[in-house]
Amino acid sequence: MKKLTITTLIIALCICLSLPVLAAEGDSAGVSPDGELITVYATVAVAGEFAEDADGAPVMGAAVDVSDEDGDGAITLNDAFTAIHASLCPDGVDAYASYEGDYGLSVAKFWGDESGAFGYYINNVSALSAGDPVSDGDAITAFVYSDAVNYSDMYTWFETSEITAVPGETVSLKLNTYTFDESWNAVESACENAAISVLDADGNETDIAASLEEDGSVTVTFNDTGDFTVIAKTDETPIVPSFCTVSVEEDTSEGGTSDNGSSTSGDSSDTASSEAGTDSESAAEDEENGLIYILIWSTLGIGIVAIVVNRIVKKIRQ
Ligand SMILES: [Ca+2]
């Protein structure tokens, strides 16, 4: 019996010691041990227009390395905003300031604007404060409202922010926004009003036709190879601008259409969307499996510890 108790105790200790490691693996969001860097993808808009970086290029999904700039032990939006200003803003890091407000860490100055009319989103979901944690690979969109009185600017985003197509292909994109239900819950909806245009690789507006339907779908045909960006900006009602990059390349795979360049429309964008969907589903599944794994081991550990304690107590009483 004594041998069994000692063996059980060793197993229980091993399990308990392994739990913090497992938990740390599944909960690394925003934590920056030992000066770790993460990369976020920054989009900045000021009053309905994409902000320009120090080189005059629009800040659309720009990769920015972020560390624990403020030294609070976590990587948050505050750190990301500091890094975004330091690396992209023409006026540098001095164009950004934050303060501890009633609702947590708040933004006092953004891109040099001190109106206080700011919005910030992580992966197209509104953040609660500048203290929200950010993770490697997050898309961060921050903006200064064009309507600083009623905050009526509608946040928009393309369902897929990056696709590929072949010459001659017609792609269909989906432009989303949030509306609010009777309880003021944000509801994902089709954006019905926006001005759509297509930029070339140099950021110049092309004459490629693009239109927005009432169901939020945007249809564009790309006849030439190259890198393009479809952008949505304010038309009649103020919106936060959004973008989708489109890489148009000859299809060189077997059975492709590079020989005659007469690809038919539609399929490639669907494939891109479904691949992106599969990737995110797979990531969600992995995360879920990780949580279940931790839960099972935690339960086992607690159960075994309880048994061991019970046996030790019994032994002492004997
Ligand atoms: Ca920090």
User: Would you state the pLDDT for residue 301?
Assistant: 60
Give the pLDDT confidence score for residue 254 in this predicted structure. 72
**Domains of the chain, start order:** 33-149 (2.170.130.30), 157-270 (2.60.40.1930)
**Ligand 1 center–CA 266 separation, angstroms:** 44
| Residue 68 Cα to ligand 1 middle (Å) | 4
Residue-level pLDDT at 103: 85
The region that residue 79 occupies, defined by phi over 0 for left and psi between -120 and 50 for alpha, beta otherwise, is: alpha
Residue 131 CA, ligand 1 centroid: distance in Å: 8
Rounded CA separation 191/210 (Å): 15
Q: How far is the CA of 26 from the centre of ligand 1 (A)?
A: 19
Tokens of 216: 């939020």
Pairing of strands 242-248, 162-165: parallel
Q: What is the pLDDT of residue 150?
A: 94
59-65: long-range contacts at Cβ-Cβ below 8 A with a sequence spacing of 24 or more?
59/84, 59/88, 60/229, 60/231, 60/243, 61/139, 61/161, 61/243, 61/245, 62/88, 63/39, 64/39, 64/40, 64/88, 65/37, 65/38, 65/39
Residue 314, pLDDT score = 72
Per residue of the chain (318 residues), what is the pLDDT tens digit? 444 444 444 444 434 334 433 333 334 444 445 678 999 999 999 999 999 999 999 999 999 999 999 999 999 999 999 999 999 999 999 999 999 998 899 999 999 999 999 999 999 999 999 999 999 999 999 999 999 999 999 999 999 999 999 999 999 999 999 999 999 999 999 999 999 999 999 999 999 999 899 999 999 999 999 999 999 999 999 999 999 999 999 988 776 554 433 333 444 434 344 344 444 455 556 666 665 555 556 655 665 556 655 676 576 665
pLDDT at 261: 37
